[in-house]
Chain A
Amino acid sequence: MLAELLEALRVRPRTRNELLLLLQASPGQLEAALFQLSRGGYVDRAIPEQGSCHSGCGHCSVKNFCPGESAEETWRLTDKALSRVAPPA
C-alpha cells in the first residue's frame, strides 16, 4: 500500500479522491497510510498556488480564503521522499 501510494505521488501531487480511486483503498486505509507517511516526513499537504488551481477558480482574488479549496485535499511527496523513492527502471 505505501509503495503504491508513494509511486502514485511520485508522478504528481494528487487529491485524496484521486488516491482513493487509484489505489482502490477505503478512506480508513488511505488515512492510515497518509498518516504514517506524513509522520515519517515522506508526504505533506500541497497548497495550490495562485493561478495554478485545477478547481476552476482561476485567478479569483479570494480563492485562497475559499473553504471549497480545502475540500480538494492534495498530497505530494517531500524532498526526503523524492530522494529515496527511485523512479521505476
Chain B
Amino acid sequence: MTPVLRVATVGNPNVGKSSLINAIAGSNLSVGNWPGTTVDRLSISFELDQVHVEWVDLPGTYSLAGATSEESITRRELLTSPPDVVVNVIDAGNLERNLGLTLELSELGLPMVVVLNLVDEARAHGIEVDASKLSDCLGVEAIETVASSGQGCAEVKAALLRASRGRALVEYPEYFQAAVRQLDEPNRWRAVTLLSEDVPGLDSHEQAQRLRRQLELVQDPFLSVAEARLKMARHLTCDVEVRIDRGVSRTEKIDRLLLHPLLGLPLFLVGMLEVFRFTYEFSAPWIGFLDVVKGVLSSWVTSWGLAPLAQSFLISGVIGGAGTVAAFSPVLFLLYLAMAFLEASGLLARTTFLFDQVMKWVGLPGRSLIPLLLGFGCNVPAIYSTRILPNLGDRLRVALAIPFMACSARLTVFVLFAAIFFPKTAPYVVLGLYLLGLLLGLLTALLMRRFVPQDSDRTGIMEMPPYRFPSWRAVFRQAWLRTYSFLRDAAGPILGAVLLVWFLHQVPAGKPENSLYAGVSRALTVPLAPLGIHDWRLAGALMPGFIAKEVVVGTLGVSFLGEEPVAAGGLGEGLGQLATGFGVALQETVLAVPKLFGVPSAELPPDESPNGLSAAIGRACDSAGALAYLVFLLLYTPCVATVAAVRSEFGNGWAIFSVIWQLSVAWLAGWIAYQVMA
C-alpha cells in the first residue's frame, strides 16, 4: 500500500501559498494578488517518490487564534486533523510580520518546512534574508522560492520527506511560563492560548480558567504573550535580515499617482471604462461572426426540407440554444482576461484602498470592496468570499449588496440591447449600468446598517500588495479556466432552458403567440407596463432569467426568431459566408485596437443591416423601454444559485428578504429610468 503524506500550507494572506502548490503539483488553484484569494479549504494530491501526497491549501491567516471564518478553517484543520508536514509560506520582504505566525506554528509542534517566497521582490526592495541562518534558528529547513516562476519548488518538494519539528523559541515572562507548566495541556500552543485569550472553537476548561484569572491579577496575559512573540520575531529578523536602502520603490512611485487624493478616483473610472471598452470592442466582431455561423447552419437545416416542427426544433431550439452558449465565450473570455490582469498586477487591491473612505461612508471596511468587485464576475463566489470580513453584520450587508453587481451573464444582454438601442454610446450605457448597480449596492449596505445587527468594530490592517507585471501565460490561463468553468456549468442549463422555452411555445400547437408561454408572459406585462415593457416576449424572458441570466438571450432568440422565416442555403454558399464573416471579424478586431486608445467616435456608425434577433428586438420597444428593461434586468434577482448562496450563508429569512428587496428596487429603478428617458 502506498504511504500517504498529508501536507498543509499555512501563511499570511497573499504570500503565494496557492501559487506554490500550483508550481509544485501543476494544479490550477485560483491565485490573485490580493489577500483572501483562498477562502476555503482546498486540496489536491500527487505522487512523490512513491509517496501519495495529499496537499491542503488553507486560507491565509496572521495568527492561529484569529477570529474570522477563514482563520477558523485554518485553525480547525491544524488542530483536528493535524497534517504530517506544515509548509509555512513566508513573504521574504515582510519577514518580521510573517514570523509571528511561524513562531505560533513552532509551538504547535508539527513537522514543518519554511518557504521564503517572493525573494525576487524582497531583493528588488534591498532586503536579503539568510535562509540557512533562519533554518538554524528555527530548527526546521528554510528554502528560498519564487513560486510564480517555479524557482526553489523542487527543493521544497524534496524537503517534504525530511521535515522536522521546530523549536519553541518564544520566552514568555516567568509568571506566565510557570502557569504553562502547571496547566495539564501537553501542546504548548494550546496551553499558551488557553491562558491568554478566548478563541472560538478552542474549549477552555476549569483549570485553565482558574490559572488565567490568577494571571490576570499579575498582568494582562494577552499582552504578555503578544509582546514576547513580537520581541522574538524582532530578534530573529535582526539576526537573519540585511536591508540596503534602494530609494523609492517602483510600487511607491506608481502608488503616488494611482492613489493620489485627486487623481485616484478619475483614473479608476477611466480604467473601468477601458475594461468595458476592451470587452465590448473586441467581443462585438466575434459575436457577429457567431451570428453568421448560426444563420448558415439554420439555412442548411432549412434546405433539408424537414417537417415544420422538426425544422423549428433544430433551428430555434438546438442551434439557437447552442448559439446562445457560444455567444457568451468572447464576452466572458475578454472580461475574465481583463479581471485576471487587474488581480495579478495588484491593481484590483488598490481599489480597496481608493474606496476605503467610500466604504466607510456606508459603514464597511475597505476590503469589503473585494467581494463586491468579484460580483462583477459571478455573484455566487462573491457571496462566499464575504467570509474575508470578520464582522457578521458586515458580511450580511455586503452579501445583500452583491446581487446588484452586474455579473458577466448580464453583460451579454447589456451588450445586445446597447448595440441595438444605443449604438453610438454603447460602452457608456454598459458602464453606467455597472456604476448604477454599484451605487444601489452601496445604498443597500448603508440602509441595512439600521436593520442588521452590528458586532463590535474590529478594524484590521489593510495590506497593499506590490505591483507585479503578471505573466501573460498565467493571465490567459486564468481567463480560459474561468470561461471554460462558466461554460461547462452553464451550457447544460442554458440549452435546457432554451429547449424548454421552445417546447412551451409549441403548447398548445398553433401560433407561438397563442402558446402557454405567451399567456403567462402576457400576464407579466401588466406589472411591467409602467416601465414601458409591453411586449410579451421581452417580459417572458425575465422568467427563465430568474433561474439564470445566461438564458435570457437564448429565450429572446426562441421567442422572436420563431416567427422569422429562414431562407435555404447551399453548402458552398454557406462556407463562403463563413469565410467572409471570419475575415470581417478579424478585420474589425484589428480596427478595435486604436479605438481603445482614442476618444470614442461621435460619428454615426456604418450603415449595417442588423441581424434577425437584433432587428426583431429593435421593433419590440423604444429606447426608453429598453433602458428600463436593462435597469430591471440589472437589479432583479440574479439567479437561483445566488439565492441559494445567501440562504446557505445567512439562512432562509435573509434569502427571501433579498429576493423581495431586489424585485422592489428593480421595479422602482426601472420605472424611474423609463420616466426620465420617456
Tell me, rounded to whole Å, the shortest Cβ–Cβ distance linking A9 to chain B: 13
1/0 contact trace for A54-89 toward B, CB 8 Å? 000000000011111111000000000000100000
Residues of B within 8 Å of A6, CB to CB, are 223
Report yes or no: A32 in contact with B230, Cβ–Cβ below 8 A: yes
**What is the interface size of chain B, counting residues whose CB is below 8 A from a CB of the partner?**
42
18 more CB-based (< 8 A) A-B contacts, given A2-B230, A33-B230: A2-B226, A3-B227, A28-B94, A28-B95, A29-B234, A32-B230, A35-B460, A35-B461, A36-B63, A36-B226, A38-B460, A39-B62, A39-B65, A40-B223, A44-B458, A44-B459, A66-B261, A67-B259
Tell me, rounded to whole Å, the shortest Cβ–Cβ distance linking B180 to chain A: 19
Closest 3 CB pairs of A and B: A68-B261, A36-B226, A45-B459
Tell me, rounded to whole Å, the shortest Cβ–Cβ distance linking A39 to chain B: 6
Tell me, rounded to whole Å, the shortest Cβ–Cβ distance linking B193 to chain A: 12
Q: A3-B227, A28-B96, A70-B356 are contacts. A39–B361 as well, Cβ < 8 Å?
A: no
Q: Which of A1, A31, A34 contacts B227 (CB 8 A)?
A: A1
B457 within 8 Å of A (CB atoms):
yes
> B residues 223-258 with Cβ under 8 Å of A?
223, 226-227, 229-231, 233-234, 237
Which range holds the interface residue count of chain A? Answer: 20 to 34
Residues of A within 8 Å of B233, CB to CB, are 32
A41 within 8 Å of B (CB atoms):
yes
A42, B100: Cα distance in complex, Å:
18
Report yes or no: A32 in contact with B458, Cβ–Cβ below 8 A: no
Give the dominant DSSP class at A's interface.
helix
Residues of B within 8 Å of A69, CB to CB, are 357
A52 within 8 Å of B (CB atoms):
no
Report yes or no: A40 in contact with B226, Cβ–Cβ below 8 A: yes
> B residues 356-396 with Cβ under 8 Å of A?
356-358, 360-361, 366
Residues of B within 8 Å of A3, CB to CB, are 223, 227
Residues of B within 8 A of A (CB): 62-63, 65-67, 94-97, 100, 197, 220, 222-223, 226-227, 229-231, 233-234, 237, 259, 261-262, 264-265, 353-358, 360-361, 366, 456-461
Report yes or no: A70 in contact with B67, Cβ–Cβ below 8 A: no
Tell me, rounded to whole Å, the shortest Cβ–Cβ distance linking A59 to chain B: 16
A16: nearest chain-B partner, CB-CB? B461
A37 within 8 Å of B (CB atoms):
yes
A–B complex contacts, Cβ < 8 Å, 16 sampled: A1-B227, A2-B226, A6-B223, A29-B230, A36-B63, A36-B226, A39-B63, A39-B65, A39-B458, A44-B458, A47-B360, A64-B361, A65-B361, A68-B261, A70-B353, A70-B356
